Amino acid sequence: MKQEILHIPTPFGEPLVLYKNRWGPLDGEGLSIVSGLQGDRLNGMMVASRLSRFLNDIESGRETGYQIRGNIQIFPIVNYKAWETGNPVWNFDSQDVDLTFPGMEVGELTETICNTVIRHTAESDYGIVVQSAEKHYDDAPHVQLIEPNRKRRNLARSLGLAVGREVSENPALVLNLAKRWDLMGLHPFILSAGKPQTYQPQYCDLLVDGIVNFMRSQGLLTPTREKGSQREMAFFDAEHECPVLTREAGLFYSEIEVGTAVDKGQKLGEVRDLYEGGLLEEVPAPEKGFVVTLREYPMVHEQECVAVVLRENHRRGFWPFG
Amino acid sequence: MKTQTLFSRNSPLGAPLKVIRQTFSAHQGKPARRLSFVSGLHGDEMEGLYLCHRLIQALRRIKDTRPEEFLGEVHVYPAANPAALNHGTRLWPFYGSDMNRMMGPHPGKSLPVQLAQEVFDDIQEHSDMAVDIHASNLHLNELPQIRIIEEFGEELLPLARQTHTGIIWIHPMAGVFESTLGYNLNKLGIPTLVIETGICLRIEPETVDRLFQGMMHLLVEQGVLASLPEGIPPLPASRVVYPGEVAQACAKHSGLFISRAHLGQPVSEDEIIGQVVDPVAGVVLEQVTAPGAGLLFTLREQPVVHAGALLARVARDLEPRP
């Protein structure tokens, strides 16, 4: 049920109120689902809304056949102020919320919001962030894992997505919600699908189904799901990611779809001159693999990343893209 | 002076994106010490650019008239993030990327990551010591200060004293520093001082003049220059402020902060330094008082505040004021 988690008066009008939805027994195994860390990632917000409706329907008896056994929370919107502007960050502080965790109990607004989310999720066992690709890119639906040990890879499989990917270590990761959860002892997962500023129903269907599968597999929802019915997932270590860079600056025309398998040397797209339209280069796949990220915005600099290919030959698990 | 381009990427529109390094080499043989100055990592922080201008101007004059004064080598990186500087924004606007959260080992290949890594590598390669110059953000005005993370205090404090900057603030470590230029250079054994001064999008020439004089002292103390140029006066010693000696005032209400104090003034404990007012209802929400007796070295400039926002910092007096 909808619960207020933060109430801050604003200087000029209505207060800023953040909510979470919560279902199930407080002493049950806990799952927190967070979306809206950036103000332009619509798929996550739509997934959160649909899951909330589904869980409300179970609780009210409209959706029969399920029972809620876990302590499930959904935080549909975190970066409230950025959502008001439709931008990834709030222009008032230019602060990426996902580089602000754990925040501060008493601090600037963004810090206070981050700290509130941390406090409300601290007792969970699992955390799921739902997001889209970064600005100018499109992501095939996949799950990202921090410190991907065997247990986490098994948990990730129950999310029902075909691709899992290790999140690379970097010094800024410590400011990330998922990494904070990891440090707090939760099992964190980041689900990414699609592109910013766009609602993509087919991707949201996949993510909703995946999260429901996860809840059933972990016994947060009953009836539980048969272990054997889990989908296979190809998992890729961070060092097996191949960023594809342009050689020339110009307009990038993609010739493939994100989420497809490609052969080494296969043409991914081409770069053409802005002023005269002439062909400057053809961009080939550097390896045989799976295109997990593809450039959406056509203007590119020299050496700009236009795709990320997950290299096939080092996959772990079943290769489902043949 | 030798001008070198350390990063260049052609743009689809025409003009390439370039980062420049200005080098003043030693007059003879191997440089005694190599010192680098960096500014403009955040594109709305202008004080550092003007300080670099003053340094380049003075060093050129010395090179032209008394080249034997150069015992060591000076590198100046006046505009480390040209894509943001060209738009006067903290972040690289096309990507929304904060260049000072991408330093240290980073696996990505986006253009901002490439730039951050190449700037970082170049400074590392050319420096025995560095000074990273920042202005404050949109919200706070700061007295000129050198900020030192506690773990580096022993090594950096003697170097910071050589700059005669008004305040040297030794503060605790926080996650946000792990991806900054200063932290990562210090971790690699290149002593790096981080200057914070003023407020973004503004230049206070007198303040920069004073910082410039301090940097000339540093160059002499470090053996990079043989002697102080004419016109550089002796400077008073810095005030060192340790973690327990800083008191903060934060807003208890959301509203407009109306300052009644001046940056740099001594204040008494509980002295009124401003008000938070409600512009809609026309009422005073709170009187803001100094959180301790001492020197007011941080003061809110952006008046719009939410509850919890930082309004002022005071470096506490060590002795009771008569």
Tokens 């779809």 correspond to: A257
DSSP string over B243-267: GGGEEEEE-SS-EEEEE-S-TT-EE
Nearest Cα to Cα of residue B179 among A172, A174, A15? A172
Tokens 């990063």 correspond to: B7
- Rounded to whole angstroms, the Cα distance separating A256 from A266 reads 10
CB contacts, 8 Å: B277 with chain A: none
Q: Give the CATH class of B2-240.
A: alpha beta
Nearest Cα to Cα of residue A299 among A266, A269, A272, A268? A272
CB contacts, 8 Å: A274 with chain B: 12-13
Tell me how close the Cα of B48 comes to any Cα of chain A, in angstroms.
Answer: 20
Q: Which of B18, B44, B109 would best serve as a mutation to test chain A binding (most A beta carbons within 10 A)?
A: B109
* Other residues' Cβ atoms within 10 Å of the Cβ of residue B88: 13
One-letter amino acid for residue B231 of the chain: G
Tokens of A214: 């996860």
How many interface pairs between A and B have CB atoms less than 8 angstroms apart?
133
Smallest CA–CA distance from A7 into chain B, residue: B307
Whether pLDDT at A231 is above 90:
no
* Other residues' Cβ atoms within 10 Å of the Cβ of residue B239: 18
Kindly give the residue spans of alpha helices, DSSP state H, lying in chain A.
Answer: 42-60, 80-85, 109-121, 150-157, 177-184, 201-217
CATH architecture of B245-316: Beta Barrel (2.40)
Tell me how close the Cα of B191 comes to any Cα of chain A, in angstroms.
Answer: 19
Contact B308 A300 (CB under 8 A): no
Whether pLDDT at A314 is above 60:
no
**A322 falls in which pLDDT band (50, 70, 90)?**
very low
Domain locations in chain B?
A: 2-240, 245-316
pLDDT for A312:
82
Strands B266-267 and B283-289: unpaired
pLDDT for A313:
63
- Facing residue for A11 by CB, picked from B107, B111, B256: B256
pLDDT for B108:
86
Contacts 24+ apart (CB under 8 A), A102-107: A102/A180, A102/B175, A104/B308, A106/B250, A106/B308, A107/B250, A107/B308, A107/B309, A107/B310
**A224 falls in which pLDDT band (50, 70, 90)?**
confident
Contact A111 B308 (CB under 8 A): yes
- Facing residue for B10 by CB, picked from A11, A168, A301: A301
Helices B205-221 + B47-65 axis angle, to 10? 50
- Rounded to whole angstroms, the Cα distance separating B300 from B201 reads 15
pLDDT digits (tens, 9 = 90+) for A60-104: 999 999 999 999 999 999 999 999 999 999 999 999 999 999 999
% of chain A with per-residue pLDDT over 70: 95
Contact A303 B111 (CB under 8 A): yes
pLDDT for B154:
97
User: Could you give the domains of chain A?
Assistant: 2-236 (3.40.630.10), 241-313 (2.40.50.100)
Whether pLDDT at A315 is above 50:
no
Which segments of chain B have a pLDDT < 50? none
Q: What is the CA radius of gyration of chain A?
A: 20
pLDDT for A118:
98
Whether pLDDT at A229 is above 70:
no
Whether pLDDT at A230 is above 90:
no
Cβ partners under 8 Å of residue B84, min gap 6: B40, B42, B43, B44, B90, B91, B92, B93, B99
CB burial of A129-157 (b: ≥16 within 10 Å; e: otherwise) equals bbbbbbbbbbbbbbbbbbebeeebbebbb
One-letter amino acid for residue B127 of the chain: S
pLDDT digits (tens, 9 = 90+) for A250-277: 999 999 999 999 999 999 999 999 999 9
Strands A299-300 and A163-166: unpaired
CB contacts, 8 Å: A251 with chain B: 12
Smallest CA–CA distance from B300 into chain A, residue: A108
pLDDT for A112:
97
pLDDT for A1:
84
- Rounded to whole angstroms, the Cα distance separating B98 from B292 reads 34
- Rounded to whole angstroms, the Cα distance separating B287 from B259 reads 10
One-letter amino acid for residue A200 of the chain: Q
Is the distance from CB of A44 to CB of A89 less than 8 angstroms?
Answer: no
Smallest CA–CA distance from A136 into chain B, residue: B95
| Mean pLDDT value across residues A105-122 | 97
Tell me how close the Cα of A250 comes to any Cα of chain B, in angstroms.
Answer: 4
Is the distance from CB of A289 to CB of A242 less than 8 angstroms?
Answer: yes
Contact A11 B310 (CB under 8 A): no
Tell me how close the Cα of A7 comes to any Cα of chain B, in angstroms.
Answer: 10
- Rounded to whole angstroms, the Cα distance separating B232 from A214 reads 68
Smallest CA–CA distance from B111 into chain A, residue: A304
One-letter amino acid for residue B94 of the chain: F
pLDDT for B11:
95
CB contacts, 8 Å: A303 with chain B: 9, 111, 114
- Rounded to whole angstroms, the Cα distance separating B109 from A308 reads 10
What's the whole-number average pLDDT of chain A? 94
Q: Give the CA angle between residues B293, B298, B303 to the nearest 5°.
A: 115
pLDDT for A232:
83
pLDDT for A227:
54
pLDDT digits (tens, 9 = 90+) for A114-157: 999 999 999 999 999 999 999 999 999 999 999 999 999 999 99
- Rounded to whole angstroms, the Cα distance separating B153 from B135 reads 21
Contact A304 B111 (CB under 8 A): yes
Beta bridge partners of B193: B131
